[in-house]
Amino acid sequence: MLRDRGYVVVPQFLPPHAVTQLNQAARLQLAARADPIELEADLQYPGAPSSRTAAGGETVRRLLDAYGRDPVFAEWGRTPELRAWMEGYFAENVLMSRVHHNCLMTKHPHYGSLTNWHRDIRYWSFAREELVSVWLALGAEHAENGALWFVPGSHRLEFEADGFDAAKFFRADRADNADVLRTAESPRLAPGDAVFFHCNTLHSAGKNLTDRVKFSLVYTYHGCSNPPKPGTRSASKAEVAL
Ligand SMILES: O=C(O)CCC(=O)C(=O)O
């Protein structure tokens, strides 16, 4: 399924007690605002505050290095179920990156931005474009609170370089790209559901139009035969063997 469609939803991947623990830890982490964090104002995605000093300028988008923040995040990022899933996909031993998509994602009402169409490979530098992320929903996720949208099968599509802009966002203004996006779907997620997706699957997400912060935990994995390129950000932190 992941191989064919580029993403797959696994309902109730986390047991209810994990969802409770993770939500408690997530709220404490957001309140503490310990570094490393990324603010909406730093990223400047559409709808973000214009600067750190503008209204909402302190709104957090990502609490990075989730793995190192709390033992409960570490535990649920390398459970036997996750290891089995990833080893099943990569057919070899698996490593978790501690760079970038190893984070607690928050999407706030009002100042939380939308994310334009992209492939996550824009964040990564590896020998092969073969990485898989897991997105763990800590609460309900749906189009109204800024859930993800995916284009099924898009991880297999080849695009000209100019199909993407300088920041490697997919150019939705082009007619050929707009055709590709017509098949996009946004799966509704319940607390504890997981989405597994390939680093080349086109995805985006809307703004949070509700009055409650949305929390999601995101980790990325790769096979041990696919190392990060030396000297890049992807190689900047020791990885975690599952
Ligand atoms: O929640 C979002 O806005 C999208 C997250 C995402 O796709 C990303 O950070 O790469």
In a domain, residue 219? The reply is no
> Among 64, 115, 142, 195, which is best to mutate for testing ligand 1, by the most ligand atoms less than 8 A from CB?
115
In a domain, residue 109? The reply is yes
Q: How many residues does the chain have?
A: 242
In a domain, residue 223? The reply is no
In angstroms, what is the span from residue 2 Cα to ligand 1's centroid?
Answer: 19
In a domain, residue 220? The reply is no
In angstroms, what is the span from residue 4 Cα to ligand 1's centroid?
Answer: 22
In angstroms, what is the span from residue 238 Cα to ligand 1's centroid?
Answer: 24
Smallest CA separation from ligand 1 atom 2, residue: 205
% of the chain residues with pLDDT over 70 = 100
Look up the CATH number of the domain holding residue 110: 2.60.120.620
pLDDT the model gives residue 43: 86
- The domain total for the chain is 1
Query: How many whole angstroms from its chain centre is CA 109?
Result: 19
pLDDT the model gives residue 41: 95
Instruction: Please state, rounded to an integer, the average pLDDT across all residues of the chain.
Output: 96
pLDDT the model gives residue 88: 96
Q: Which residues line ligand 1 (CB under 6 A)?
A: 105, 107, 115, 120, 146, 203, 205
Smallest CA separation from ligand 1 atom 10, residue: 120
In a domain, residue 221? The reply is no
Residues 183-222 have pLDDT tens digits of 999 999 999 999 999 999 999 999 999 999 999 999 999 9
pLDDT the model gives residue 54: 93
User: d(Cα 211, Cα 213) in Å, to the nearest integer?
Assistant: 7
Average pLDDT of the residues in 162-187: 96
In a domain, residue 85? The reply is yes
* Band (36; pLDDT cuts 50, 70, 90): very high
In a domain, residue 235? The reply is yes
Q: HEC states along 85-141?
A: HHHHHHCCCEEECCCCCCEEEEECECCCCCEEEECHHHHCCECCCCCEEEEEECCCE
In a domain, residue 152? The reply is yes
pLDDT the model gives residue 100: 85
pLDDT of residue 85 exceeding 90, the answer is: yes
* Band (161; pLDDT cuts 50, 70, 90): confident
For 76, phi then psi, to 5°, come to -85, -5
Which atom of ligand 1 is found nearest the CA of 45?
3
* Band (229; pLDDT cuts 50, 70, 90): very high
pLDDT the model gives residue 170: 97
Which structural domain, as residue segments, surrounds residue 143?
Answer: 2-213+231-241
User: β-strand 203-205 against 148-150: which pairing, if any?
Assistant: antiparallel
- Indicate the Cα dihedral angle 131, 219, 186, 160, nearest 10°: -30
Which atom of ligand 1 is found nearest the CA of 216?
1
Average pLDDT of the residues in 73-98: 97
pLDDT the model gives residue 12: 98
Pick from 191, 116, 192, 182: nearest CA to 148: 116
In angstroms, what is the span from residue 216 Cα to ligand 1's centroid?
Answer: 10
Coil/strand/helix, residue 179: helix
In angstroms, what is the span from residue 205 Cα to ligand 1's centroid?
Answer: 6
